Amino acid sequence: MHAHGPNGDAVHGEHGDFTLGPSKDDAGRAVLDARSAQQYWKITSLSSRIEAIERAARQMLVRRNEITQLAHDEMGKVAAEALFNEALGSLDQVKGWARVVEDATRRRQVTLNQLSFPKKRAHIDFVPRGVVGVIAPWNFPVAGLYRAVFPALMTGNGVVLKPSEYTPRCAAWFIERLADQLPEGLVRIVEGDGRVGAAIIHAGIDACVFTGSPRTGRKVALQCAERGIPASVEMGGKDAAIVLGDCDLPRTVAAITHWALSNAGQACGAIEVAYVDDHVADAFLTKMARAWVELTDESVGPLANQRQFDVVAAHVDDAVAKGARLVCGGRRLARGLWYPPTLLDRCDERMAVVTDETFGPVLAVVRVAGAAEAVSAVNRSRYGLGASIWTRDQARAERLAERLDVGIVNINNHAFSGAIPSLPWSGTRETGFGTANSSYALPTFVRTRVTTSDASGGPDVYWMPYDKALQSLGEILAQAQLAKISRVWELPLLIRRRVKAIRALFW
């Protein structure tokens, strides 16, 4: 999940330029500590690693009230939301990741063509990269770490975490629970602004996971590329709902309400724009407005910081100034960082609330003539994380899904797949090229190592000297390939005798 500010800039880690700062020594020590501990951890069995991480996750679940309170204190999450979003997932995530890692990193035996490579065998192992740097946002200060830290540790790496400066206590609580069960130094946390993230990269990590804005994400990717290390870079979203005329309207309204306002809209997978068929738009807005005005502060908490509040207010003001109709909300409340759930009608692409990531409790409604217009609009977006289609016609929805240029398509629901370790979470365009969750995310954490062995008793037939006998053998092998023959005994008898005679020259 992502945390962003004005014009898509990350709120976390964006204080000043993304350059080396005074925390270089702290980052260096953290990386050295993690690397030292990783030398033992990488030779620990996978089952033992999983058991240790699972013990930590159980403690997180037992002590769930602590993180629920910390999430409320640091970013204003309401109690039930903090419980569901931050506290309840640790053990399920460990078990889900264990299944993914056990299957995806199992040794692979490779079948070799015994005609071309006689008496030879090969297998592929997946080995840890070393130390993984994680540069994390504030919007899901614990749950957002599962998808990077758990697989990094399970695959045998050490971890150095740079949390958002807005939620350091939540991240520290998470790291402390892990550290209680893991080798000393294997997980380290270095707090600070964006300069600390750069310091971690330059301290010699072996891979990086970044979640943030396109502007900072491109800098992270460039710095990692310059150092020759892999980077998984996730850079935001502007998820849309396509509401068709035959949708189940009550359920659609309830679902979009949840996915637009959960975490006060501060999620990369939040629904920020609804492309609604004009035939059902009035009824949709009436039901949506009725549901939203009844929501209380216990349902939708405040925004996490003043900077994000200002972005949300600016997007709403811009939309109204350009002709959007304010259906409900849209006013600055007199208390703290609460911004009311805001519904805007008759929005268009001149408005920042349609084109830029708002990251707040705001839904922009764009009326469309039909599904084709909605699909075209989604595909024009700067971002390409997810979209959802709301209709009773499953077959039609699946056909439309194939036309959407996004990473995740949801039919009659939205974004829940982000909590499933076996399903990839990724997108297109300015969302970036990073992948979280699933085996497709593991190349950030592991590399391949090939091992071959040869039981031959003499030189291979294609070894020097390069003479007519070897050239003759090459012709035989070419004929065998054209005949789709891969075993010596499948060759015609005459050719087998020729092969035997040719090999005798060398053996």
**Whole-number Å distance between alpha carbons of 350 and 271:** 19
Residues 6 or more apart whose CB falls under 8 angstroms from that of 232 comprise 148, 207, 208, 209, 210, 434, 435, 436, 441, 444
Cβ contact 238:380 at 8 Å:
no
Show the tokens assigned to 134: 């994680």
Amino acid occupying residue 124: I
Handedness of CA 198, 232, 160, 2 (dihedral sign): positive
Cβ contact 167:75 at 8 Å:
yes
In whole angstroms, how far apart are CA 3 and each of 166, 213, 216?
11, 7, 12
Cβ contact 365:322 at 8 Å:
no
DSSP alpha helices (H): ranges in 246-277? 249-261
**Whole-number Å distance between alpha carbons of 303 and 76:** 7
Closest among 411, 390, 78 to 253, alpha carbons compared: 390
- Parallel/antiparallel/unpaired status of strands 342-345 and 362-368: parallel
Strand partners, 408: 386
Residues 6 or more apart whose CB falls under 8 angstroms from that of 142 comprise 60, 67, 71, 86, 87, 90, 170, 171, 173, 174
**Sheet of 187-189, strands arranged across:** 187-189, 158-162, 131-135, 207-211, 231-234
Amino acid occupying residue 233: V
Torsion of CA 250, 253, 259, 260, to 10 degrees: -170
**Whole-number Å distance between alpha carbons of 192 and 166:** 9
**Whole-number Å distance between alpha carbons of 224 and 221:** 5
* Catalytic residue IDs: 234, 268
384, containing H or E segment? strand 383-384
**Whole-number Å distance between alpha carbons of 162 and 141:** 11
